[in-house]
Every structure is written in structure tokens, then in C-alpha cells.
Amino acid sequence: MRITNAYCIVTSPGRNFVTLKIVTDEGVYGIGDATLNGRELAVESYLTDHVIPCLIGRDPHQIEDIWQYLYKGAYWRRGPVTMSAIAAVDTALWDIKAKAANMPLYQLLGGKSRDGVMVYSHANGRDIEEAMDRVAQYQEKGFKAIRVQAGVPGLDKVYGVPKGGSYEPAIRATTPDESLWATEPYLDFAPKLFEAARDRFGWDLHLLHDVHHRLTPIEAARLGKALEPYRLFWMEDPTPAENQEAFKLIRQHTVTPVATGEVFNSIHDCRELIQNQLIDYIRATIVHAGGITHLRRIAALAELYQVRTGFHGATDLSPVCMGAALHFDSWVPNFGIQEYMIHAPETDAVFPHAYSFKDGYMHPGEAPGHGVDIDEELAKKYPYTQAYLPVARLRDGSMWDW
């Protein structure tokens, strides 16, 4: 089998997505997600201008060799653009291999390790009451695990909180939106949010919370301690993780479980965190961390240290990434949980898929490959529109982590 053609499809059904399609001489094709929220066209150019020309004529079954060729061959190591581009190729090649074998992808990875993939979704509210009503709605839909975020009194916009009905942080504009951040009101408020959640919903529900890189290590330690009575499933991204040592301080002060890694793109970003048992869940996922081939190495390292997976699954990761992740989750021995932020109906229509949700669990489906396709004609109806993630500033105007 040989690769005869490959191209990117950029479409915006509700939000921007970049998809790589690889076609072979035997008519089998595979697709991979290449979306990097707010920097989409950089990956599209990296693939179109620099990677695709090197793929034509290669044997798509040589996934490992092609991965090494693209990684080592770039000379410039790692980084979100490179690793998302490699991830897209890798996912498309696994899709081709599984389709050629006429098997769902999870079978090639080693077969199923569980009956279903436990997922969590997002309950967001402008205040505690609205957030609690959203939790109730997700519980009614069957979710066993729910991430809870609410507006902080005194702050006009906060990460995770919708302005209108639904929450989409990437705003269509020519420059990023600006929001205000202040740590003290947030630290006072967050325990009240989870106290209200336990009062109303009891203990038979997993509660999660995303700090979104906003705190210093000692502030994160204080928050983890303050949240201990409400027994969270995890506290996510408590502090920016470039400094892996910083997590030691958090660990010394709290037993609230810690998850991090949605912005990581290689095993080197999390090696110390895992080997020193400074985190409980690793959030790196297929599209941003070099595809199935590289994520498998991260998961294997994590398994040695009882760190479990909790892959990123926000709506800026396309259904292609979600489908592939669900196959991975079905197999990986040290699975923890999977994020599932439900896509807009237009997105689902452009990406027909075999995966499904039932009673809090997801199932990858039995279609050969990863089970997700793209309707290229429909995709053309949604042209790319520039969009940016917001930035955050403190009250005095200093830049902060969004």
C-alpha cells in the first residue's frame, strides 16, 4: 500500500477545525485531527507546506517509522505546532491500518479493557444557583462525573462561564478578547461553590474543577486544602506546569487529586511530574501530544507510577480526536476518565461518527478504523473564521495566565 495523496480540510461548523486526510492507492483513506485552537492555520501550513510532500509514496503501514521520520527529521524538537501536525498524520495512519485490517482501532491497540469509557462534562453558571441547575441537567442526562465552574463575584468574566447559553472561549475576532483576573475573590469563592454542590447533590457524583493555570504554587496548595472536605475527583491545572518542581509544593500540602497536561505536547513535559508522583491524572491527548504512537508512551510511563489518564476533550478538539481517544481509552490499562464537552450539532453533522454516549459512559463503536469521517461537501459551507482564545490581566493591567 502507498500514500498517493494527502490534504488539509479547514472548516468552521460552529468553531474552527483542521483535518488531515491521507489517501492510498488501495482506496483506503484515513483522517486525523490537526486543530490547535487560535493557531489553526500554522498547523495547516506546517502540514501542507512541509509534511505532506514527504508522505507521498510512503507505505502507510509503517506508522512508527513515519513518526520518527517526521519527529527526528524536523531537527527542531517538540512544540504544539509540530506535535499537532505529527499527531494528525499518526491518527490518519492508525485509521488506515485499522480499516485495512477491517477492525475497530481499539483491537489493534490490544483490545478492550473495559465495557465503557467514563466521561465528564461541564456545568457552568454565572452564579452558584445557575451552576447547580446545570449540574442537575447533566445528572439527568446520565453523567456520573461533572466539572463545575461558576462566575466569581466581583469579576466580570471568568474562565468556564458562559455569557449566553453555551460556552465557547475562542472568540471570532481579529484580536483576543481581554478579561480581568483577581486571585483573592476566587480563592474565597471556590470552596463555597463545592459546598453548595455537595449540599444539593450529595456524595454519589464525581465533581471536578479547572483552575486553568491561574494560581501560584502556594495559592494552589491553599485551594487544594480548602477543597478537601468536598472530595473532588480532581483539581485541574492548579498552576502553570512549565516548572514541574512547583507541583511538589502543592503535594506537600493537600490530598486533593491533581490533573494537568492539556497543553503538553510530549513525554518530556510530564516526565518529572509522573516519575515523582506529583500528579494523579495526565491530560495530554492525541491531537496535541504526537498522536496515538506518542501518547501510548506517556500512558505507559504513567502506568508505572499509578498515574491515570484523563484526556482533554473540549470542543476545540474535533470529533476525529474524540473518536480516536475513545478507542485509546477503551484499551489503556491505566484509564481514569475522559473529558467530553458535547459538540455543536453543525460539528457533528460535518464529522459523522460511530461513537455514542449512554448513562455516563461512551463507546467508540465497532466501525473499522477510529470510526469518524468528514463530509467534505458540507465542510465547505463553513469557511474558516479567525478566532482567538482570550487573554487575562490583573486589576493593574499586568498580563496573567488565562
The string of DSSP codes covering 257-290 is -EEE-TT--SGGGTHHHHHTT--SEE---TTTTT
Q: How far apart are the first and last CA of the chain?
A: 46
Q: Give 219 or 339: the residue with its C-beta nearer to ligand KDG.
A: 339
Contact 180, 156 (CB under 8 A): yes
d(CA 246, CA 224): 14
Minimum CB separation of residue 317 from ligand KDG in Å reads 7
Contact 94, 20 (CB under 8 A): no
* Marked catalytic residue, from 212, 294, 327, 370: 212
Minimum CB separation of residue 313 from Mg ion in Å reads 10
C-alpha cell at 306: 499509578
| 95 contributes a contact to Mg ion by CB under 5 A | no
User: Binds 219, which of ligand KDG, Mg ion, none (CB < 5 to 8 A, cut-off by type)?
Assistant: none
For ligand KDG, what does the binding mask look like between residues 121 and 160, x meaning CB under 6 A?
----------------------------------------
| 169 contributes a contact to ligand KDG by CB under 6 A | yes
| Nearest to 402, CA basis, from 176, 187, 235, 101 | 176
Strand partners, 149: 124
Minimum CB separation of residue 312 from ligand KDG in Å reads 6
Q: Give 104 or 261: the residue with its C-beta nearer to Mg ion.
A: 261
Q: Which residues contact 93 (CB under 8 A, 6 or more apart)?
A: 22, 30, 32, 60, 61, 63, 66
Q: Give 262 or 373: the residue with its C-beta nearer to ligand KDG.
A: 262
Strand partners, 30: 22
Minimum CB separation of residue 34 from ligand KDG in Å reads 14
Q: Which of 219, 269, 316, 329 binds ligand KDG (CB under 6 A)?
A: 316
Minimum CB separation of residue 307 from Mg ion in Å reads 17
User: Binds 314, which of ligand KDG, Mg ion, none (CB < 5 to 8 A, cut-off by type)?
Assistant: ligand KDG
For Mg ion, what does the binding mask look like between residues 223 and 262, x meaning CB under 5 A?
---------------------------------------x
Contact 340, 315 (CB under 8 A): no
Ranked by CB distance to Mg ion, the top (closest) residue is 210
Active site residue 212: yes
Pick the piece of the chain touching ligand KDG (CB under 6 A) from 1-9, 96-104, 311-319, 366-374: 311-319
* Structural Rg of the chain based on CA atoms: 20
d(CA 91, CA 87): 6
Minimum CB separation of residue 354 from Mg ion in Å reads 26
Single-letter residue type at 380? K
Minimum CB separation of residue 170 from ligand KDG in Å reads 7
The string of DSSP codes covering 45-98 is HIIIIIIHHHHTTS-TT-HHHHHHHHHHHTSS---HHHHHHHHHHHHHHHHHHH
The H-or-E segment that residue 150 falls in is: strand 145-150
Name the DSSP class of 155: -
User: Binds 339, which of ligand KDG, Mg ion, none (CB < 5 to 8 A, cut-off by type)?
Assistant: ligand KDG
d(CA 371, CA 385): 27
| 40 contributes a contact to ligand KDG by CB under 6 A | no
d(CA 46, CA 42): 6
Restricting to residues 257-316, name those near Mg ion by CB under 5 A. 262
Phi, psi of 64 (to 5 degrees): -65, -45
d(CA 122, CA 342): 9
Restricting to residues 339-398, name those near ligand KDG by CB under 6 A. 339, 389
d(CA 343, CA 364): 16
Q: Which of 44, 95, 210, 316 binds Mg ion (CB under 5 A)?
A: 210
User: Binds 169, which of ligand KDG, Mg ion, none (CB < 5 to 8 A, cut-off by type)?
Assistant: ligand KDG
Restricting to residues 71-110, name those near ligand KDG by CB under 6 A. none
For ligand KDG, what does the binding mask look like between residues 196 and 225, x meaning CB under 6 A?
--------------x-x-------------
- Footprint on this chain of Mg ion (rule: CB under 5 A): 210, 262
- Footprint on this chain of ligand KDG (rule: CB under 6 A): 37, 169, 210, 212, 262, 312, 314, 316, 339, 389
Residues identified as active-site: 159, 212
